[in-house]
Structure 1
Amino acid sequence: MSAKKRKYLDKYIRFGFVSLQKGDTEVPQCVICYKTLSNDGMRPSRLEHHWRTTHPALADKPKAFFETKRQSLKQAKMDGSGAFRQQTSKVVEASYEIALLIAKCKKDHDTAYLVDISEALNAINLKLQGKNINIIMHHDTILAFMAKLDLWKCRIQNGNTASFSNLDSALIHSYLDSELKKQIFTHLTDLKAEFIRYFQDIVEKREAWQVIRNPFQCEVADVLDEVQEEFLELKFNSSAEEDFKELDIETFWVKYFPVYPLISHQAIRILTMFGSTHLCEAAFSMLVAVKTKYRNR
Structure 2
Amino acid sequence: MHDALKAFQVKLRLWETRIHQCNLSHFSFCHAMLNQVNLIVFPNAHFAVKLSSEVALRFSVFEAHESNLEMLRNPFAIYVETAPVNLQMELIELQCNGTLKAKYDTVGPVQFTRFIPDEMPQLRLHAGRTLSMFGSIYLCEQLFSVMKINKTSHRSRLTDEHLQSIMRKSQ
Which bracket does the TM-score occupy, shorter chain normalised? Answer: 0.5 to 0.7
Which residue number corresponds to residue 24 of structure 2?
161
Pick closer, same or farther for the CA change 1:178–1:222 going to 2, 3 Å.
Answer: same
- Mapped pair 1:152 → 2:48: no
Of residues 218, 225, 246, the one that matches 2:106 is 246
- Mapped pair 1:196 → 2:60: no
Q: Which has the higher contact order (CA 8 A, sep 6+)?
A: 1
Of residues 258, 268, 278, the one that matches 2:128 is 268
In structure 2, give the amino acid aligned to 1:179. Answer: V
Of residues 282, 289, 296, the one that matches 2:141 is 282
* RMSD across aligned positions (CA): 3.5
Pick closer, same or farther for the CA change 1:201–1:292 going to 2, 3 Å.
Answer: closer
Which residue number corresponds to residue 179 of structure 1?
41
Query: What does 1:2-21 correspond to in 2, within 5 Å?
Result: none
Deviation sequence 1:73-132 (CA, Å, 0-9, x none): xxxxxxxxxxxxxxxxxxxxxxxxxxxxxxxxxxxxxxxxxxxxxxxxxxxxxxxxxxxx
Of residues 214, 218, 223, the one that matches 2:78 is 218
User: Higher strand proportion, which one?
Assistant: 1
SS in 1 for 2:23: coil
Pick closer, same or farther for the CA change 1:190–1:151 going to 2, 3 Å.
Answer: same
Which residue number corresponds to residue 133 of structure 1?
none
User: Quick one: distance in 2 between partners of 1:276 and 1:165?
Assistant: 37
Q: Quick check: 1:257–1:265 contact (8 Å CA) kept in 2?
A: no
Pick closer, same or farther for the CA change 1:187–1:157 going to 2, 3 Å.
Answer: closer
Deviation sequence 1:153-200 (CA, Å, 0-9, x none): 2122333222123444x27977982432xx233223213312323443
User: Quick one: distance in 2 between partners of 1:161 and 1:199?
Assistant: 24
User: Quick one: distance in 1 between partners of 2:70 and 2:61?
Assistant: 14
Q: Which runs of 5+ in 2 are unaligned?
A: 147-165
In structure 2, give the amino acid aligned to 1:186. Answer: H
Deviation sequence 1:42-62 (CA, Å, 0-9, x none): xxxxxxxxxxxxxxxxxxxxx
**1:253: Cα distance to partner?**
0.6
Query: What does 1:129-144 correspond to in 2, within 5 Å?
Result: 137=1, 141-144=4-7
Percent of aligned pairs sharing the same letter = 26
Q: Quick check: 1:227–1:263 contact (8 Å CA) kept in 2?
A: yes
After TM superposition, the score normalised by the length of structure 2 is 0.66
**1:275: Cα distance to partner?**
7.3
Q: What is the number of residues matched between the two proteins?
A: 150
Q: Which runs of 5+ in 1 are unaligned?
A: 1-136
Q: Quick check: 1:146–1:192 contact (8 Å CA) kept in 2?
A: no
